[in-house]
Chains A and B, each alone.
Chain A
Amino acid sequence: ETGVTQTPRHLVMGMTNKKSLKCEQHLGHNAMYWYKQSAKKPLELMFVYNFKEQTENNSVPSRFSPECPNSSHLFLHLHTLQPEDSALYLCASSQNRGGGTDTQYFGPGTRLTVL
């Protein structure tokens, strides 16, 4: 139990569906992250939020839309995904982006399958 929770843990969706992934951290952190882990590939950083402001978008397609309403919650809205978007989506949080050693703590992930 790392203090970072993600829901749902598993999601199957069609290419025309719209769904959202939710992440919540109970650590009092100010920075939150979305990562994607495809089969047999290293983790890829997608988005970074610091104090609710998006500070990084690593060339992620617009069919992935993040939202950070407050420092404890992070969403990833999904629409018109492709089968190659099937992956494990991981959320992480850290104290601050821009100070200290910024150790990131990860949630359990959402296993997404796009049919």
Chain B
Amino acid sequence: DAKTTQPTSMDCAEGRAANLPCNHSTISGNEYVYWYRQIHSQGPQYIIHGLKNNETNEMASLIITEDRKSSTLILPHATLRDTAVYYCIVRAQDDKIIFGKGTRLHILP
């Protein structure tokens, strides 16, 4: 079973920041938070991951709360090509990746 809870769907206006929440209240100390996305009929794309500290890369920022029970993925300037299903995954280093249902993000023109 997925260890995370995400909203089923979200809308975001093009050019605005998209903030995707994820709850992982049972996360263990050695578990990382990973984010992937899957554009229709394509393979999942790795976005970012983190353990405790906030992380940023060329695609997105990951904000993890101090108690690590929730996190937010931020796409700073959403484009139509960011329309996808976004998966928040909690896993230890050698654990399987277990994909839940994710959040279907619609970017609106």
Contacts and interface: CB of A to CB of B under 8 A. Distances in A.
Interface string A69-80: 000000000000
A104 B46 contact: yes
A45 B96 contact: yes
Contact of A109 (B41, B93, B94, B101): B41
A49 interface: no
How big is the B interface, by class?
10 to 19
Contacts, number: 47
B49 A107 contact: no
Given A101-B32, A102-B93, A42 B49 contact: no
A4 B43 CA distance: 10
B97 interface: yes
A81 interface: no
Contacts of A61: none
- The A interface is mostly helix, strand or loop, or mixed, namely loop
- The B interface is mostly helix, strand or loop, or mixed, namely loop
Interface in A59-102: 88, 90-92, 97-102
B97 A101 contact: no
Contact of B94 (A45, A91, A97, A107): A97
A90 B97 CA distance: 13
A86 B34 CA distance: 28
A88 B36 CA distance: 17
Contacts of A91: 43
Interface of B: 2, 32, 34, 36, 41-46, 49, 93-94, 96-101
11 contacts: A2-B46, A43-B44, A43-B99, A45-B97, A98-B94, A102-B93, A103-B49, A105-B46, A108-B43, A109-B43, A111-B41
